[in-house]
Copies of this chain bind each other. A is one copy, B any other.
Amino acid sequence: MTITITAFEQSPDGGQGLARDTRVRWALEEVGQPYEVRLVSFRAMKEPAHLTLHPFGQIPTYEEGDLALFETGSIVFHIGERHAGLLPDDANARARAITWMFAALNTVEPTILELATARLLEGDKPWYEERLPLVEDRVRSRLNQLSARLGGADWLDGAFSAGDLMMVSVLLRLKSSGILNEFPNLAGYVVRGEARAAYKRAFAAQLAINTAKRPTG
């Protein structure tokens, strides 16, 4: 059955790979599954047809036969459950890989989202400059713990898994902030993720859409 995902017609990041469809593309590339992409405009995302697929009016979604899913974590997990390459065979190692997926999304990403929100939605507010260091320190606090756990290892728990895919994707959001470079082992971890052939294919595919749609200058 054909897999169809949705992506931004024009990504807010212009193709830096931070839109969440990149995470799903990466997962599909890791397991070697072909997929089709349906592009969605900002207006269409908030219209009934798309809201039926995604109640929060976002991308990506995932359709395969009569199954329709939203929420990146769930889609990546679904792909990992159906195809070899993202979740270990050993039951305990599999449960720990899933743990890292949830940790990326519910423990690490919220503080990083708060930083993004501060910049995007409160950058013009009088408190922005004074508040920013507090938000950055909350990010640092999480990264400090994550860095201690990763130590000198390549990946979070043995071989690369969906947990690493999600954690690297979350950390990539910090690339422009400079904070990531305060933690050399985490910066190296992200570089290892970006160096994977599957990530490179996913990144190139989302970039191609965004550069095709944008005026060149």
Contact = CB atoms under 8 A, between A and B. Distances in A.
Interface string A87-100: 00000100110110
A32 interface: no
Interface of A: 51, 55-58, 66-67, 69-74, 77-78, 92, 95-96, 98-99, 101-103, 105-107, 109-110, 113-114, 117, 121-122, 125-127, 130-131, 134, 138, 142, 145-146, 148-149
A71 B55 contact: no
Contact of A56 (B96, B107, B126, B131): B107
Contact of A113 (B69, B110, B121): B110
Contact of A101 (B74, B95, B113, B126): B74
Given A56-B103, A56-B107, A107-B56, A98 B74 contact: yes
Given A131-B125, A142-B56, A106 B72 contact: yes
A16 to B, nearest CB: 20
Given A55-B145, A69-B95, A74-B95, A110 B107 contact: no
20 contacts: A51-B145, A51-B149, A55-B146, A56-B107, A56-B142, A56-B146, A57-B145, A70-B103, A73-B102, A73-B105, A78-B95, A78-B98, A102-B105, A105-B105, A105-B106, A106-B109, A110-B114, A114-B117, A125-B127, A127-B131
Q: Which of A92, A99, A102, A110 has the most CB of B within 10 A?
A: A102
A99 B126 contact: no
Contact of A99 (B71, B96, B102): B71
Contacts of A126: 127
A127 to B, nearest CB: 3
Contacts of A130: 127
A72 B105 CA distance: 12
Contacts of A70: 99, 103
A68 to B, nearest CB: 8
Contacts of A105: 73, 102, 105-106
